[in-house]
Structure 1
Amino acid sequence: MLRGSLLPGDVGRMHLRGIAQVALSASPWTGLLFAVALFADGWRIGLYGLLGAAASTGAAALLGADRDGLAKGLEGYCGCLTGIAVVVRFGASWRTALLAVLAGAVCAVAGAAAGRLLGRVGLPALTAPFCLVSGVLAIAVPAAPAAPAAAPIEGDGFTSLSAAELGRAFCDNIGQVFFLDKWYAGLILLAGLLVASRAAALAAACGSAVAIVTACAMGLPDDRISEGLFGYNAVLVAIALGATFLARTPWTAGYATLAAVASVPFTAAWQAFAQPSGGSPYTWPFVVTTWLFLAAVPALDRPGISLEKAK
């Protein structure tokens, strides 16, 4: 349990950091701008994101989670994403609000387990608890009738995008980290990253650009590229490897770029796998790609890994 009392300002900063930690930041100002982006996309997204983050953080506090981790927001980010995933898939109602709270609480337990198990091999949990909990819900809970599933992904040479599609893809690659599909929401998220770290903002921008080029080179559908569905994992991978866990060197920049490239086919494959059940890859491609590239670093005899921001 937390010792001592927390002032309202402390609680507010804790929750904002929980939202910011989705992009591996502990800045409450970043979290505030992220929250603005959520509500800019729609009040339901914003409300459920805050609800999920609060549920996960509150459950972790009641269960006796580490106070330092709570203060840094490390207990809130998976709950935030899970809350958003719930409202995106099932819609807004009192039942789904309750589901978001319960799922957020489970994220706290899943996060503690993942942190303990993965910590033994020196890897961060990242968003794996969110992916696990949201994936289970997507399979177990019947969703409202949805539009027919999209046609299977078919490649046909190099995909060409117009200037408008390129701009939307760049923004939506960032916005889809939070399931946001309005281009200006992605720009607000990028501004939030810039407030905390120019390196993180640059990594996110480069990850988005690399994902667009890779997806076009693979011949993936132009509409899904412009919607950011193949690029959001690359954005997170670039932030993780290019600005968070590895020493910042020219070698690291190239390594992070390679990882961002690898995340695109991972995302496309995961979408094809999840499509028959109407599911989503969520951020599994980001998680798996980052684990693989972090685990490989010691074998490559390159600069060490810093896990200060990892859970």
Structure 2
Amino acid sequence: MNFLRGIVRAQGQIFLQAGWGPAVFALAAMTVASAWFALAALAGAAVQAGCALALARWDDARGLRRLREGGTRARSGIPGHDPESSRVGAKALARSRAGVIPAEVDQGLHGFNGALTGCAAVLSCGPGIPAALWTLAGSAVCALIVWGAPKLSWPESLPLLTGPFCLVNSIAVAVAVPFERAQGAVVPLGSPVHDVLAGAVRGPAASGLMGYGALLVTVALGVAIPARGSRILRIGVPVLAAALTVPLWWVITAVGVAPYTWPFVLVTWTVLALRSRQWRAGEARHDER
């Protein structure tokens, strides 16, 4: 695992891309708007990745402890031995030992929510202590959400995507209102960068905001839909889903919530949930035969 490589690649994962090229271009685009954006994105990615590794080590230690306690109880015949607890500990230990989390950090998968959180913090507060605290706390909470979701039985068929970023920063925006930066402190209000990150209503089509969520939806679903399916399905579903992000964006904006990437997340989750349900129904029919 290369930690520095991981936090750079996390910038490309914002656009569902794991390569170096997208990561470098994403950082360059942030730097053009403001160097503070790039610094905050790297800092947020580093915080989330660091927390993810720390939580993985904690899981590892807890798994070892459970295995030892379970083995001792089994050998001693002590009442209260829970085999299921040992299996859970073994699963957590195997996950860490296999290097799953470090490998995901190296790919940037445990950093892009933190990167977006850093950008949102600078956008809302301007560079300074409030933005730094927002980046630190928000990125850490994103890591906790990613770590805790599987433990709370979050469906494996629904990747979290940028959901943690949206949830954490939608809440943080309300808290950060007293610290809202003066207009033009980092990037002019109404500019494309501001519109894309904050979901400003001003000039959404011209800024590319209307196409941003749709682009992410088509990329995500283009990979998720099996290639063996019909061409109509492989093309029609992503296109229809992309179209749904536009009215959803307006609805979210109308209720006074910063859209961020909520349209992309909600539409993608809906389509994947329906696909998973259809797959389970097909499996059930097959079993009945």
Q: Structure 1-normalised TM-score?
A: 0.65
2:4 aligns with 12
- Partners of 1:297 and 1:82 in 2: how far apart? 30
1:21 aligns with 13
1:223 to 191, 197, 203: 203
Distance 1:80 1:74, change over 3 A: same
Q: Do 2:157 and 2:276's aligned partners in 1 also have CA atoms closer than 8 Å? A: no
- Partners of 1:301 and 1:133 in 2: how far apart? 32
Q: Do 1:237 and 1:289's aligned partners in 2 also have CA atoms closer than 8 Å? A: yes
| Residue ranges of structure 2 left out of the alignment (5+ in a row) | 58-100, 184-191, 283-289
**1:234 corresponds to 2:214:** yes
- Partners of 1:59 and 1:111 in 2: how far apart? 10
1:171-220 CA distances to partner (integer Å, 9 max, x unpaired)?
x6xx6796399xxxxxxxxxxxxxxxxxxxxxxxxxxxxxxxxxxxxxxx
**1:73 corresponds to 2:96:** no
- Shift in Å at residue 145 of structure 1? 6.5
- Shift in Å at residue 301 of structure 1? 6.1
- Partners of 2:20 and 2:38 in 1: how far apart? 16
What is the letter of the counterpart of residue 228 of structure 1?
G
CA RMSD after TM alignment? 2.8
**1:261 corresponds to 2:253:** no
- Partners of 1:285 and 1:118 in 2: how far apart? 23
What is the letter of the counterpart of residue 133 of structure 1?
V
- Partners of 1:79 and 1:300 in 2: how far apart? 33
What is the letter of the counterpart of residue 179 of structure 1?
L
**1:246 corresponds to 2:281:** no
Q: Do 1:18 and 1:75's aligned partners in 2 also have CA atoms closer than 8 Å? A: yes
1:284 aligns with 262
- Partners of 2:128 and 2:215 in 1: how far apart? 31
- Partners of 2:218 and 2:123 in 1: how far apart? 25
Distance 1:87 1:49, change over 3 A: same
- Partners of 1:115 and 1:180 in 2: how far apart? 29
Q: Do 1:41 and 1:180's aligned partners in 2 also have CA atoms closer than 8 Å? A: no
Q: Structure 2-normalised TM-score?
A: 0.70
1:144 to 170, 180, 183: 180
- Shift in Å at residue 83 of structure 1? 0.6
Q: Do 2:249 and 2:259's aligned partners in 1 also have CA atoms closer than 8 Å? A: yes
Q: Do 2:245 and 2:264's aligned partners in 1 also have CA atoms closer than 8 Å? A: yes
Q: Do 1:234 and 1:261's aligned partners in 2 also have CA atoms closer than 8 Å? A: yes
- Partners of 2:43 and 2:175 in 1: how far apart? 21
- Shift in Å at residue 76 of structure 1? 0.1
Larger radius of gyration: 2
- Shift in Å at residue 33 of structure 1? 1.9
- Shift in Å at residue 115 of structure 1? 4.5
The secondary structure found in structure 2 opposite 1:266 is: helix
- Partners of 1:177 and 1:60 in 2: how far apart? 30
1:112 to 147, 152, 157: 147
Q: Do 1:81 and 1:178's aligned partners in 2 also have CA atoms closer than 8 Å? A: no
**1:271 corresponds to 2:253:** yes
2:118 to 83, 87, 96: 83
1:33 to 12, 20, 25: 25
2:271 aligns with 293
1:154-233 matched pairs, under 5 angstroms = 179=197, 223-233=203-213
Distance 1:280 1:118, change over 3 A: farther
Distance 1:146 1:41, change over 3 A: closer
- Partners of 2:141 and 2:31 in 1: how far apart? 25
1:126 aligns with 161
1 or 2, which has the higher helix percentage? 2
Q: Do 1:230 and 1:268's aligned partners in 2 also have CA atoms closer than 8 Å? A: no
| Residue ranges of structure 1 left out of the alignment (5+ in a row) | 1-5, 148-171, 182-220, 305-311
1:209-249 CA distances to partner (integer Å, 9 max, x unpaired)?
xxxxxxxxxxxx8833212333221111111112x222246
Q: 71-80 vs 29-38, which deviates more?
A: 29-38
The secondary structure found in structure 2 opposite 1:75 is: coil
Distance 1:235 1:294, change over 3 A: same
2:61 aligns with none
User: What is the percent sequence identity of the aligned residues?
Assistant: 32
